Amino acid sequence: MEPPTGRRTVVILSGPPGSGKTTTARELAALLGAPVTEVDDIKVERYGTTMSCDPSRDFPEAGRRVATHLERAHVAVIAEAFADDEHIDLVRRELPPDCNVLTVLLECELDKAISRAGDRLPLCVIRAQFARFSGRAYADRTHIRTGGRTPREVATEIAASVGRMNSPTRGGGP
């Protein structure tokens, strides 16, 4: 797949632990030639663990890193749970005002998430994160079910959405 042209685009991958954010981000990056920013990396740099977070510092820092990537790349990907829209807003404030933003919520079944993330996160954390997402309506997020699909299939679907966002008919062309 060719990297998109047109407006700069940020793909924000959100979802509970084990939904496939990191793996999908890497697949999407490979498809689009895009750098990836993982908020977990920022947490580990600052606190030595992914279990601690200061949203007022960590999410703007992620936005600044993505903005720096966009100086050299047409597309950038960011991965984090982002259960709260306020956290996404903290990232968006640091992005160039003229870029497209596609926010994707990756969804899967709890048992699949436990099998994917249970070796690195306590079960209570996975269940608590699932509860935060459960039953919430995210009107501004593209919902994609990851169960029964490979990360490459999910990334390909997202890449197609990026292509549509940047098509001349959508105003994303040069």
In angstroms, the Cα distances linking 144 to 14, 42, 73, 129, 171 are 10, 26, 25, 17, 24
Q: What is the mean pLDDT of residues 63-78?
A: 95
Whether 74 maps to a domain, the answer reads yes
The pLDDT of residue 174 is 46
Q: What is the mean pLDDT of residues 98-103?
A: 93
Residues whose CB is less than 8 angstroms from the CB of residue 97 and which lie 6 or more positions away in sequence, other chains included: none
pLDDT at 130 over 50: yes
Whether 174 maps to a domain, the answer reads no
- Residue-averaged pLDDT of the chain: 88
pLDDT at 168 over 80: no
The pLDDT of residue 8 is 92
Long-range own/partner contacts, residues 129-132 (CB < 8 A, 24 or more apart): 129/16, 129/17, 129/81, 129/83, 130/16, 132/16, 132/83
pLDDT at 84 over 90: no
The CATH number of whichever domain residue 151 belongs to comes to: 3.40.50.300
Whether 107 maps to a domain, the answer reads yes
Whether 170 maps to a domain, the answer reads no
Instruction: Provide the domain limits for residue 39.
Output: 9-164
pLDDT at 166 over 50: yes
pLDDT band at 103 (very low <50, low <70, confident <90, very high): very high
Whether 160 maps to a domain, the answer reads yes
- Note the pLDDT tens digit of each residue in 7-23: 899 999 999 888 999 99
Task: Supply φ then ψ for residue 102, to 5 degrees.
Answer: -110, 115
The number of folded domains in the chain is 1
Beta 100-107 vs 142-145: how paired, if at all? Answer: parallel
